[in-house]
Structure 1
């Protein structure tokens, strides 16, 4: 069993393709690159490819991950060269490392993601004032969000435990940049847009929610002592 764990970026026009379309695109690209991927057994075999937490449509990412099981052994450098030669502009593989089959899957091990949030505000306010609002926001024990369940009912969810870090790093005219680390995994997941909605509500900042750019910088595994990237 030869499992390659890979890191790739998703940007430009590629941010507008869905996770399902991304899966299909990468499967086609692997075939075009002549890379022999392992397939499952049974009536409907499928390629043994698995991803980390799916990326929201319209989000740029510099830290996406995928595990690919191969039927051959090729060097990491050769893999990167062959796959990048056939990928469309906006998707590029940055790193590939063979991992042991005992390594937990990406979906089960990834717990957090770091994001940069670029937004416009219509308040006459200083960066120190915004940092003060961020501090008060993070000091709250509860930040309640009303979530719609699969049965269509509304349920209160405390999202505060899902927010690990939130910092205001730059204010230039009306352009504000926030950095955050939030839960991004199977055991807990917070959409950055929901974080911004609650921050806007609690801080009373006039944030233009129609003019937001969200960038996923990387994904992390919490090993109990520190947060590490999957490779």
Structure 2
């Protein structure tokens, strides 16, 4: 039995890294008494699947996670059990049944971000987003690689002290680095764009 859970991660929980989030989920599922299925082998791991990693310091809302259960359980019962054992800054908002034929990464390529900050930081980011090309230059093993990030930007707009941004398979941190805006100078919220 496969389930897709949607959760919010905010306040101090935004400082939990992607790998730590998997550990938190494993512990939470065990504490809540959820009959999670484990992989076979020398080091059994819980059958948990997350989408694209959430950058450290980014609050995330409506974030999907897939799990596989050993025994059937209603969606309402599963959500109630998990939320009763959850920690402050972390909550489950919805549970649905899935057939498990597609992955989260395939289904949820686009994410919406709300970036707030001072006028100077947002001016630099908006100017970068308005360009025809957004080139990311990286050096890897002595080779210089240049990638245009513009095709990954699906939508952007500025409303006062906030930029709304929809991007595909990418963190806005790359964009902030290019326009030399310190990540500590902005607040980032990520929202899963449901299909």
Normalised to the residue count of structure 1, the TM-score between the two structures is 0.76
Aligned partner of 2:191 in structure 1 is: 217
Say what the alpha-carbon RMSD is for the aligned residues. 2.4
In 2, the alpha carbon distance for the partners of 1:120 and 1:148 equals: 31
| Conserved? CA contact 2:129–2:156, under 8 Å | no
**Conserved in 2, the CA contact under 8 Å of 1:64 and 1:219?**
no
SS at match of 1:20: helix
The answer to whether the aligner puts 1:160 opposite 2:134 as a matched pair is no
Could you tell me whether the CA contact under 8 Å between 2:39 and 2:47 is conserved in 1?
A: yes
Q: Measure, in 2, the Cα distance between the counterparts of 1:191 and 1:60.
A: 13
Which residue of the partner structure matches residue 12 of structure 1? 11
Q: Match for residue 68 of structure 1?
A: 67
Does 2:53 match 1:54?
yes
Residue deviations 1:117-168 (CA, integer Å, cap 9, x gap): 0011249xxx9xx6xx95894461x22111243x364311111111111100
The number of residues matched between the two structures is 194
Partner residue of 1:95?
94
What pairs with 1:1-231 in structure 2 (closer than 5 Å)? 2-102=1-101, 104-122=102-120, 134=126, 137-138=129-130, 140=132, 142-149=133-140, 151=141, 153-170=143-160, 176-184=161-169, 190-198=170-178, 200=179, 210-220=184-194, 228=195
Q: Distance in 2 between matches of 1:183 and 1:42?
A: 35
Tell me, in whole angstroms, the C-alpha distance in 1 between the residues paired with 2:2 and 2:84: 21
The alpha-carbon deviation at position 208 of structure 1 amounts to: 6.4
Matches of 1:153 and 1:33, distance apart in 2: 49
Greater alpha carbon shift after TM alignment, 35-44 vs 69-78:
35-44
Give the number of the structure whose alpha-carbon radius of gyration is greater: 1
Instruction: Output the CA distance in 1 between the equivalents of 2:129 and 2:49.
Output: 36
Structure 2 unaligned blocks of 5 or more = none
Normalized against structure 2, the TM-score is what? 0.89
